[in-house]
Every structure is written in C-alpha cells, then in structure tokens.
C-alpha cells in the first residue's frame, strides 16, 4: 500500500491536480477524505476536503483495502465511468451510426441521457470540440469517402445530410481545400504540399492546397501514409516538405492531448476525434 497521510508528504502538484479537478490526472491516483471515509478521482466535482484531511492512494484498490468507500459522483473504481462519461460515449456512438442524418443537440441529448446544456459543456470538455463541430467533421469525412467511391457530388451531398448544394459548399469550403468536383477527380494537376510528424496516436500526415487543409491521415508507418495520400489524390502534384509548418506542429501538439475517457475508445474513433480537432484548429 502507498498512502501519504502527512499532507506535507505528497507533492504540491498532486494537490494542485485535486484543486483544479484535473481530468488528466484521473488514473494516476485517488484521494480520500479522512472526515467522510470516501475516496474520489482527482476530477471529482464534489466539495474538496482540507489538505490536512486528505490521503493519497496510487490505486482505488489500495483505498478500498483501507476501507474507504468509492464516491458515487465520480465512480473512481478502475474501469468505472461516471454517468456523464457514459452519456458522451453514447453520443459519440450515435453520431457514428447516423452520419447520413442531421443530428441535433436535442437528439444527442436524448441518446446520451444528458440535458442539452450539460451535454454541450461535457462533450466539449471531454472531446475537445462541440457536438456540432464534431458532427460537421464526421459528415465531411463521410462525404469525401462517398466521392472516392465514385458517387456523384449531388448524391453524396444528400447521402450525408447536407440537404442542399448551398449547405454543402458552406460546410466544405475550407474542409476540402478544393471544390468537390476537383476532389472527386483526384486533385487533377493540383499542387498539394504535405508533411509528416510523430504523435502519440501514431504517424500523421497533413496536406494542404493554397485554399486550405485537404487531408489528415494517420497510420503506423510512413509508407502507409504515402500510399493513402496517393490513393486519395492520384492526379495531384504532391510536394513534400521536410518539416511541417509551425502552425501545423502547434495544432498537432495541442490536439494529441486526450481526455482519459478517449483513451478507452476504439482506435478508429480516437483517430476520428483527433482528425476533427486538428481540422477545426487549422480551418
């Protein structure tokens, strides 16, 4: 067992994480209140104990062996999710299953079991984007996939729920880096500059035209990145840059930070969230 009953024993940074209700510290330790006999995760929204009445444990199991009781608000036991976290997972699953529809905040509220306001705030805090921004990014990705499969622009437009050509061009103006027709043609003779970088999620390739970002690809090897880029833009003039532009590097560093909940999601969905965050940051 590792516990620190002397409040001066545990680091100031640990106490700061508790004071700030830092979600990134969840899983690193739990803290218990001597006055209540309850232990919590660092991000727990409950009223904080005084530092002198706080005990730190490295794991929930250690706290329970000392007969502390798991908090019913933050569910600090290993693998447990709060109701809000479960709601966000339900919302993400709903979006992925309804990419051909316009998904409203009210619809997501019903799917998640969270009020619209609570969902909006919690989704943005955990995912890093508003529900609308994430839906827009996923719909654009789905639209591009349909174009690559040979569907007409009009058919793909309505299939992903844009509803009209005007809505399509409003949403894809910066997201494609080119017109939908040029994208469908494989970027015919269009100069596209690209660069690669390492992230915690794997190798990433960003590419852009003069208009804006046109693709974000994640893969485990450079060879796979290049193959995917050439597959998406078979007719484009691809120009490699030795180093990513400064704003690209800054966006990658910021967007690869993941809320603890996201690390429990399937890799494919984590990649989708990362791509959406980078796109929103750079668009």
**Both tokens assigned to 182:** 């040029």
Specify whether 255 is catalytic: no
**Residue where the block lists tokens 């390739």:** 205
Closest-CA residue to 259 (of 57, 79, 124): 124
Q: What are phi and psi of 244, to 5 degrees?
A: -65, 145
Active site residue 214: no
Q: Which member of 44, 135, 214, 272 is catalytic?
A: 44
CA R_g for the chain: 23
Q: Is 37 exposed, middle or buried (0-12, 13-18, 19+ CB in 10 A)?
A: exposed
Residue the block writes with tokens 């965050």: 277
Which listed residue (40, 135, 157, 214) is catalytic? 40
Q: Which helix or strand (DSSP H or E) is residue 269 part of?
A: helix 267-282
**Does 71 participate in catalysis according to the annotation?**
yes
135 in active site: no
- Dihedral in degrees, nearest 10, Cα atoms 77, 78, 79, 80: 10
3-state secondary structure of 282: helix
Catalytic residues: 40, 44, 71, 74
């Amino acid at each position: 067992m590792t516990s620190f009953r002397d409040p001066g024993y545990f680091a100031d940074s640990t106490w700061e994480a508790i004071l700030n209700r830092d979600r990134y510290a969840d899983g690193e330790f739990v803290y218990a209140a001597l006055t209540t006999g309850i232990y919590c995760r660092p991000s727990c929204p409950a009223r904080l104990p005084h530092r002198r009445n706080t005990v730190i444990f490295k794991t929930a199991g250690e706290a329970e062996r000392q007969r502390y009781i798991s908090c019913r608000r933050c569910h600090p036991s290993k693998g447990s999710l709060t109701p809000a976290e479960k709601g966000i997972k339900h919302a993400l699953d709903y979006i992925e299953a309804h990419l051909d529809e316009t998904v409203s905040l009210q619809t997501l509220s019903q799917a998640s079991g969270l009020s619209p306001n609570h969902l909006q705030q919690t989704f943005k805090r955990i995912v890093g984007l508003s529900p609308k921004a994430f839906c827009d990014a996923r719909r654009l990705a789905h639209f591009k996939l349909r174009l690559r499969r040979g569907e007409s622009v009009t058919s793909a437009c309505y299939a992903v729920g844009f509803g009209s050509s005007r809505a399509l061009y409003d949403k894809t103006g910066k997201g494609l880096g080119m017109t939908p027709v040029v994208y469908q043609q494989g970027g015919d003779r269009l100069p596209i500059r690209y660069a690669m970088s390492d992230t915690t999620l794997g190798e990433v390739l960003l590419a852009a035209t003069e208009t804006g970002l046109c693709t974000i690809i994640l893969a485990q090897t450079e060879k796979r990145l290049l193959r995917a880029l050439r597959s998406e833009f078979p007719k484009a003039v691809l120009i490699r840059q030795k180093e990513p532009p400064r704003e690209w590097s800054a966006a990658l560093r910021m967007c690869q930070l993941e809320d603890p909940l996201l690390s429990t999601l399937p890799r494919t969905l984590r990649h989708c969230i990362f791509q959406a965050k980078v796109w929103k940051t750079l668009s």
